Chain A
Amino acid sequence: MGGIGRLNGYLWRYWRRYLLGALCLLGTATLVMWIPWWIREAVRIIEHGGRVEDVTFYAGIIVVAAVAQGVIRTYSRALIFNAGRDIEYDLRNDLFAHLERLPVSYYQAQRTGDLMSRVINDISAVRVLLGPGILNLVNAPLYYLYALILMISMDLRMTLAALLPYPLLMWAIRYFRGRILKSSLQVQQQMSELSSHVQENLSGMHVVKAYTREENQERRFADLNDEYQARSLELAKLRGMIGPFMQGISGLTVMIVIWYGGIRVMRGDLLIADIVAFIAYLNILAWPTAAFGWMLSLVERGRAAMERLEEIFKIEPTIASPPAPVPLRGAEHRIEFRDVWFAYEPKANGQPILREINFTLPRGQTLAIVGRTGAGKTTLAQLLPRLYDVTAGEIRIGGADIRRLSLSELRGMLGYVPQDPFLFSASLRRNLAFGLAEVTEEKIQRVVRLARLDRDLEIFPQGLDTIVGERGVTLSGGQRQRATLARALLLDPPILVLDDCLSSVDAQTEDEILKGLRSILKEKTCLIISHRLSAIKDADQILVVDEGRIAERGNHQELLLNDGIYAELFRQQQLTEELEQI
């Protein structure tokens, strides 16, 4: 299904309103078109020296028709424009729902700004197509048809004469459309050159300043700016011609009517009333004619925007629940990694990040993963909630491949605390209760104490109701991390995954938190990643990951005796701690 196919589906949903709107347009057009006819009747009476009452009669009809036309026109515009707004709303909601189903890997390949511009700007362009676009698409032919029929029924030769300049108009529309399209592309291109220069200048500002290149950068900017100005002027020259041209054409038709019509009136085979009516019809046609090119560009822009949206819609969510998920068996939460391989881009023969990972984590035990930066620890943890799917091998929970479980059930039993503490711009309370429908004050207070947020809360002006700012900017790194920990603890999940989640917390607080958590961790199955070895000394198993493989495994004592990577990391750790204490 292409973008337009999808759009038809939405249009169909509101067909009643569009139909009603179209009927109102028909009503409006009918009244609009009969008014000159009645003017003609009135003038005819005047011309023949008829009775004032007869003129008043037509004047009255015109006034009534005008008022009725105003009412119906309001309805037609409100109906059609608002249907467009409703589709815009549906489309934006559906796109958001679709985005929620796309895997994390998709977001890593996309720039946020790009995606946002699609959800905001492209949808707006589609809406313009569905509102003003459709309205004009219905209106223009209606007006032309009506006007032609009425004008021909007055006088065929006069109609032909009046429309003599129209072929010129058709040619002009084609001529200007092509040129303007080309010229506005050039303007856009130059604008993007200009903004990349600015972008680069600002990103490299330290180099610019350090080498005192400001003047040079300004000159380069001025050059690009001049070029942009020149191209914009080219476009303005073309755009500026349309208005006068259209006005010229419609003025020309009026002139023909007066001239040719005048001659015929003198000859006695036409009335001044006819001239008046013809001029009125030509005035009515002036607007749809002038708007014709504009309307075409709206349609084109809307279609292109819809195609871009379709690019997102047609991406299949690769990580989803299976059609018939297996139910989780009771309290059995043994985690097994069986010969797990992982690469971010397996199809492009991307480097494997993880190779041959095998381990079993029995229920209620704690497994720690350590290793240097870039060893693959975080990736390993992200496989468990299926943020990514394994490239080869399988991960089982309670004996079932996690890909056969319901996604929400799988994620629902995991408390995941990511390395990068992401909070939303809401109150701290809402952030903590993020995964829950409702929560008691008591439970919140408990996790606040566990994450040692109680002391911080005393300082916050509004305590738990303090708004944390976009992405939690008003909090320190350590506070953010502890808040994300509390957020996961509040779920009280059977499995906890802590991905180096206390790295910005000072060692003493970390110790306190870990001590407080000890009793809770005992009841849960835990996977902990940490660069502070003191935090994981007591784990039941420790895996040392190096270049994507499990290089060493055992408990703290065994690994120290082994005198390998773990022992080296431990020595470095001690040095760092000593430095911290100086």
Chain B
Amino acid sequence: MSVESHHQEEIFGKAYDLKLIKRLWRFILPYKRLFWFSMLLLPLQQLFGLAQPYIMKEAIDDYIAGGDLWGLQGMALLFLVALIGEVIAFYFHYYMTMLVAQGCLADLRVAIFSHVQKLPTSYFDRNPVGRLVTRMTTDVDVLQEMFAAGVMTLISDFFMLASIVVIMFYLHVALALVSLALIPFMLLAINFFRIKARQTYRLIRERIARINAYLGEAIMGMAVIQLFVREQKSYREFDQLNSAHRDALQLSNIYEAALYSMVEAAGSVSVGLLLWYGGGEVLHGVIGIGTLVAFKEYIHRFFVPLRDFSQKYAVMQSAMSSAERIFHLLDTPVTIASPAKPVIPRPFRGEIAFEGVWFSYKEGEPVLKGVSLRVEPGEKVAVVGATGSGKTTTIKLLSRFYDIQRGSVKVSGVDVRDWDLQALRRHIGVVLQDVFLFSGNIRANLCLGDETVPQERIERAARYANAAGFIGHLPDTFNAQVRERGSNFSAGQRQLLALARVLVFQPEILVLDEATSSVDTETELLIQDALEKIMRGRTCLVIAHRLSTIRNADRIIVLHRGEVREVGSHAQLLQRRGIYYRLYQLQYAQEELRVLG
């Protein structure tokens, strides 16, 4: 996880936020029948549960006291039925709630994932991968926790408390008043602790976030700490953060301990009060002992949810802040999308035209300054330039990974902003310097998971791109395992696979950023040969690092500090003794010497 973002990431939420709950509700809607059904089971569960003390009362007062054995056995059986009913309703309520939760959270995950797919490349430049993964995994799981232990049980607790009050008053008004005498004080106390708890939870989260940030930084900068013999000072700083965190936690422990103990104690005090008043009532013959027993049971059931309230509150609080982060991501605007009515150029000719293109990643720091260039259908154009000249940016603009600020980029005569995004990209095959392979097998990497591509076409592409040779030597050939990022293949092999991938998709335009990393001579020859074949008959825009590529190019465009400075063939440009001449000596002459030598 990225440490950098930890501070700004932390949102300190409330335990309930109507807006967020409304948005979550939209995800529950498809499961609303199941949801309501599970909600209906709640009163049923409570009916069965709360019937039990009543049955006890009847059993004691009417049958045990009256010596009716069969009646007692009937009551025992009734108790068993109520128990089984309660247990079954309890289980199915939970299970259905989880069905709803799993369903709507799975939908939520898909919604996040597909939204992220649409976000522009610039978003990924700013946001570390780890953070986005957390949104789809940890944050959604926190919401699941909310379903399991938070909101649903809060609702059911509320129902239960209300029902107990009703039953108690039905049984005996004065006894009910005595038994519940402590409740107003309890509610005040719980509210007091709720406020305190909210403050301390917030403090705890702030402080753990600080420990996180400090720790992450210390780990990344450990060499600097050691070089400057700063170990003790850093330790003291860490100790300060750590002890502040501990203090906040210990404070919250004391609150929680006091609340928990208070509720438990209040339960017992209420039983004492019940005996004091109720005992007299029994002795005066107003009620039976059974009623007393039932009241004791109801008090017991009344105090359990009060005791667990603070935990549920904490669950709700973290769920709301997760929901807020998730919706924040879902609200990120999709700035690069297909227009409502895309223009489809017919026929597709495949020429590329940049006209007066201005572009900057950061405002005020233009990377391209009025670049104009043209590549005719079937033409091979090489782009050269020093580091930072804007070469890579140029090819990223072609596939509309970024939107330009001024000018236009046209493919086949249509501005890329008027194209259907997917259609545009399907016409362009991109091979970047750092070839990205997915974990899986070779076949999946060549067809990029499109199972409809026939094996025959994949094999033909691999043969044509000179990749079939080494694939054939792998134990499982096309089904050979590719590890994460293709780490079990050499740089040269990865490049051959990337070229084969282009051939599987047969785009009319090829955009290539040649790798600078050196590969062994044999593979290099294979790559050069494959490149030559692939470029044949395609419109090609290549950032050239190979001597052979610039030699074979129809035209060379020299970019320098974001501007097109020279255009021409290799020989013409060399003669001019300008930028190209120097670049050539810096980047390619070495290779020439090696080739000649």
Contacts and interface: CB of A to CB of B under 8 A. Distances in A.
Interface residues of B, number: 141
B217 A470 contact: yes
B118 A214 contact: yes
Q: Is the interface of B mostly helix, strand, loop or mixed?
A: helix
A100 B222 contact: yes
Contacts of A65: 268
Interface in A230-279: 232-233, 236-237, 240-241, 243-245, 247-248, 251-252, 254-255, 258-259, 262-263, 265-266, 272, 275-276, 279
Contact of B106 (A199, A228, A262, A276): A228
Contacts of A100: 218, 222, 225-226, 231, 234-235
Interface stretch (A108-116, A150-158, A170-178): A108-116
B397 interface: no
A93 interface: yes
B541 to A, nearest CB: 13
Interface in B73-127: 73, 75-76, 79-80, 83-84, 86-88, 90-91, 94-95, 98-99, 102-103, 105-106, 109-110, 113-114, 116-118, 121, 124
A238 B261 CA distance: 31
A263 B217 CA distance: 72
A149 interface: no
A198 B136 contact: yes
A229 B91 CA distance: 19
B129 interface: yes
A579 B426 contact: no
A55 B264 contact: no
Nearest to B65: A272
B223 A221 contact: no
B428 A210 contact: yes
Contact of B275 (A55, A76, A251): A55
Nearest to B251: A82
Contacts of A81: 250, 253, 256-257
B340 interface: no
Instruction: Decide if the interface of chain A is mainly helix, strand, loop or mixed.
Output: helix
B212 A116 contact: yes
Nearest to B84: A248
B381 interface: no
Contacts of B225: 100
A279 B296 CA distance: 10
A67 B76 CA distance: 35
Contacts of A416: 227
Interface in B44-59: 52, 56, 59
Nearest to A63: B272
Nearest 8 pairs of A and B residues by beta carbon: A70-B265, A66-B268, A77-B257, A55-B279, A435-B228, A59-B276, A62-B272, A259-B76
28 contacts: A58-B275, A63-B272, A66-B271, A70-B264, A70-B265, A73-B257, A77-B257, A78-B253, A81-B253, A89-B245, A100-B235, A104-B226, A116-B212, A200-B484, A208-B117, A216-B449, A218-B114, A222-B110, A225-B110, A228-B106, A244-B90, A251-B86, A251-B87, A252-B83, A259-B72, A272-B65, A387-B223, A435-B230
Interface of B: 1, 3-4, 52, 56, 59-60, 63-65, 67, 69, 72-73, 75-76, 79-80, 83-84, 86-88, 90-91, 94-95, 98-99, 102-103, 105-106, 109-110, 113-114, 116-118, 121, 124, 129-130, 132-133, 136-137, 141, 144, 148, 208, 211-213, 215-231, 233-235, 238-239, 242-243, 245-246, 249-250, 253-254, 256-258, 260-262, 264-269, 271-273, 275-276, 279-280, 282-283, 289, 292-293, 296-297, 300, 386, 399, 401, 421-422, 425-426, 428-430, 432, 436, 438-439, 448-450, 484-485, 501, 505, 560, 565, 578-579, 582-583, 585-586
Interface of A: 35, 39, 42-43, 45-47, 49-50, 52, 55-56, 58-60, 62-63, 65-67, 69-71, 73-78, 81-82, 85-86, 88-89, 92-93, 96-97, 99-102, 104, 107, 112-113, 115-116, 119-120, 131, 191, 194-196, 198-214, 216-218, 220-222, 225-226, 228-229, 232-233, 236-237, 240-241, 243-245, 247-248, 251-252, 254-255, 258-259, 262-263, 265-266, 272, 275-276, 279-280, 283, 385, 387, 408, 411-412, 414, 416, 418, 422, 424-425, 434-435, 437, 470-471, 473, 487, 491, 572, 575-576, 578-579, 582
